[in-house]
Structure 1
Amino acid sequence: MIWAMTELARNPKLMKKVQDEIRERLGNNKERITEEDIGKVPYLDLVIKETFRLHPPVPLLLPRETMAHIKVQGYDIPPKRRILVNAWAIGRDPKLWTNPEDFNPERFIDSPVDYKGQHFELLPFGSGRRICPGMAIGLVTFELGLLNLLYFFDWKLPDGMTHRDIDVEEAGTLTIVKKVPLKLVPVRVY
């Protein structure tokens, strides 16, 4: 959620676009956002996909071990070899993504690519039998959290700061976090 808010704060037009769609689709008199509101805001789904592409929950998926000799893209891999999939690098691969360092939710418009393990260019939760068992609850929590933050509040930067000043340096190993905490000022709307 921090990375989504970071990218939206760095891109004020995208922040406004997703907030406008949330408020238009959910109305202006909600006291609270509930699970029934999930899935009603298509642009938010694009923002979530793009956040997972640039900032997957974990950079390296669980290790796999080959059971037999296999050949992958010209590489011979003997049995009993451990393989790690770098989801972070896949999400930033210029062979797969145009302008991969840019936060651009529109890249997923009319795209069948999702984050549920069927499309290997976007694997924030892994794939197959070892897909993250917490994916469903994580997605609900992520979407509900963003819906609440973006519906009930407008967000501004601390005095003297512009969206260009937001630091996106990463830190961590098992999970990638923001090295410098995000600081935003909430302005209550509803």
Structure 2
Amino acid sequence: MLFSMDFACYGSDKTQEYMKLVIGIVDEAGRANVSDLFPVLSFLDLQGVRARMRGYLRKLYKSFDDIMEERLRFRSLNKESKDYNDVLDSFLDLMQDGTSQLSRDDILHLFIDLFLAGVDTTSSTLEWAMAELMRNPKKMVKARTELQQVLDKSTLKLEESMVSKLPFLQAVIKETLRLHPPVPFLIPHKAICDVELCGFLVPKNSQILANVWAMGRDPSIWENPNSFIPERFLENEIDFKANDFNFIPFGAGRRMCPGLPLASRILSFMLASLLYHFDWKVPDGLKAEDMDMSQRYGLTMHKAQPLRAIPVKM
């Protein structure tokens, strides 16, 4: 979508490099750092976090800069061609027509933000959704049955436009995000003045973290909070807009995640594709209910043990 490139060729050294860069950046961003507790020591970089992060970001920046340079050469040689119509082309059009103040450096940093924010969170959520469905085979059957009912019987082809007709599948995504929010503490906010919340004084300039992981498992909000029950989102019209603030995996208000519309649609379509094209089973004779569902905490929340699932052609 960003560059008209396939980043999922697992035999490619370039793909592996991108994966290592993303994992490295996310791990360093979520690492406990003494400089966060004692800012006066930050210039020392005692744990080397800043140096490693700078190295990862420099490599990612250089890689995206090479992609942009190659595209600019292509555009200069093929001025009438419309082979690409992606996000990069859109920003290059803005940069070159003189109506925008965006510089090349601005665009490259924006792509880093988009790439990091979209890749790791989406893949981890999809992994959790598949893991929960495999542990709850009746839910998987229910989702697949819904797919078969909605599918165009004449073409037997799954289209992205069908996502809106799959309420149970969308409920599966919401329930996954409730139990396993990809960013468990959301993005930090800062109090711009002294404010009292629920009897507690939050001093000016305090950093505030919203623990959406704890909210999603709060028994005062959710019935059977630790159980995977997508039906709860069919019984109550709870969406991502955070109207009652019970369910805010994308944040809320003016600062909520701008990728919400894309993420919710793409997640649903990817999960639908996996369920439609394959049946799934756990490997090595492992019982589904015995799957390891422990979590590895950081800036983003991954399964401690990556999901292993065997696809069986339908």
Residue equivalent to 1:101? 226
Question: Which residue number in structure 2 is paired with residue 2 of structure 1?
Answer: 127
The Cα shift of 1:49 comes to: 0.9
For the structure 1 residues 42 and 71, does the alpha-carbon distance in structure 2 shift closer, same or farther, using more than 3 Å as the test? same
Deviation at 1:67, TM superposition (A): 2.1
1:134-153 equivalence runs, <5 A: 134-153=259-278
More deviation in 43-52 or 180-189?
180-189
Measure the CA separation in 1 of the matches of 2:273 and 2:155: 10
Question: Which runs of 5 or more structure 1 residues have no equivalent in the other structure?
Answer: none
Q: Which amino acid aligns with 1:95?
A: S
Q: Match of 2:168, SS?
A: helix
Where 2:258 maps in the other structure, the secondary structure is coil
CA distance in 1, matches of 2:144, 2:154: 15
SS at match of 1:38: helix
Secondary structure of the equivalent of 2:165? coil
Does residue 1:47 correspond to 2:47, yes or no? no
TM-score, normalising length from structure 1?
0.92
Q: Which of 172, 181, 187 in structure 1 is aligned with 2:306?
A: 181
2:278 is the alignment partner of 1:165: no
- Displacement after TM superposition at 1:13 (Å): 0.6
State the Cα RMSD in Å.
1.6
**Percent sequence identity over matched residues?**
43
Aligned-pair distance for 1:137?
A: 1.8
* Alpha-carbon distance in structure 1 between the residues aligned to 2:305 and 2:196: 42
- Deviation, 1:82, is 1.7
Three-state SS of the structure 2 residue aligned to 1:105 is coil
Q: 1:29 deviation in Å? A: 5.8
For residues 92 and 103 of structure 1, the distance between their equivalents in structure 2, rounded to whole angstroms, comes to 11
Q: Which has the higher helix share?
A: 2
Partner Cα separation in structure 1 for residue 165 and residue 217 of structure 2: 28
Q: In structure 1, what is the Cα distance between the partners aligned to 2:132 and 2:292?
A: 10
Q: Is the 8 A contact 1:117 1:131 kept in 2?
A: no
CA-to-aligned-CA distance 1:148-182 (integer Å, 9 cap, x gap): 01111111222411111211011130111111111
Q: Distance in 1 between matches of 2:226 and 2:310?
A: 26
1:117 Cα offset (Å): 3.1
Matched, 1:86 2:208: no
What are the Cα deviations for residues 85-113 of structure 1, in whole angstroms up to 9, with x where unaligned? Answer: 01111111111111111111111223122
Query: Structure 1 or 2: larger strand share?
Result: 1
Structure of higher RCO (CA pairs closer than 8 Å, 6+ residues apart):
1
Point out where structure 2 has 5 or more consecutive residues left out of the alignment.
1-125
Q: Give 1:187's aligned amino acid.
A: V
Structure with bigger gyration radius = 2
